[in-house]
Amino acid sequence: MAQAIDRSVPSIDTLNLGHTFAIVLAVVTGLVHLYIGLGFGGPKLILAGVGFLAGSGLFLIGVKRRWLYGLAIPYTLIQMFLWVKMGQPFIRFGLVDKFVQFLFILICGYLLVTDRSPST
């Protein structure tokens, strides 16, 4: 007996290129934060990294994607603001990470406007 697949619940099958790009960017910035936080003793950086990775995990298990896009944008903007306010520490990693975060904000904004999948 064949099982019906519930298409109202998002799965990895429903990921498009934009989704994949957003996940990769979130994971990259999350790992950068963890690397710096664990290497140089920064609990705030570790928490920020865990936030990006947790958001990626929530996205993959099907939490409302449009909500995640809407939360990811201010969360990432806050990260950027705090980095500037702290005097731009870890400048080499920081500049690369902020570029990744800038792209992440752009793709999340794009997905917020265009993603009309049933799970959103």
Asked if residue 55 belongs to a domain, the reply is: yes
The answer to whether the beta carbons of residues 80 and 111 sit under 8 Å apart is no
Count how many domains the chain has.
1
| Nearest alpha carbon to residue 56 among 81, 31, 83, 82 | 31
5-14, 34-43, 93-102: which is most confident: 93-102
Residue 96 included in any domain: yes
Task: Write out the two tokens for 63.
Answer: 């939490």
Is residue 6 a part of any domain in this protein? no
Q: What's the pTM value of the predicted model, to 2 decimals?
A: 0.85
What confidence score (pLDDT) does residue 53 get? Answer: 98
Q: For 60-86, what is each residue's pLDDT tens digit?
A: 988 889 999 999 999 999 999 999 998
| The pLDDT value given to residue 114 | 92
Query: Does any domain span residue 37?
Result: yes
Whether residue 1 is contained in a domain is answered as no
Structure tokens given for 73? 């944008």
pLDDT at 105 over 50: yes
As a whole number, mean pLDDT of residues 4-18 equals 63
Which pLDDT does position 6 carry in this prediction? Answer: 42
Residue 2: inside a domain: no
Residue that has been written with the tokens 């928490």 in this structure: 47
**Does residue 84 fall inside a structural domain?**
yes
3-state secondary structure labels for all residues of the chain: CCCCCCCCCCCHHHCCHHHHHHHHHHHHHHHHHHHHHHHHCCHHHHHHHHHHHHHHHHHHHCCCHHHHHHHHHHHHHHHHHHHHHCCCCCHHHHHHHHHHHHHHHHHHHHHHHHCCCCCC
98 within some domain = yes
pLDDT of residue 117: 65
C-alpha to C-alpha distances, 23 to 38, 69, 91, nearest whole angstrom = 22, 11, 24
Domain span at residue 83? 16-111
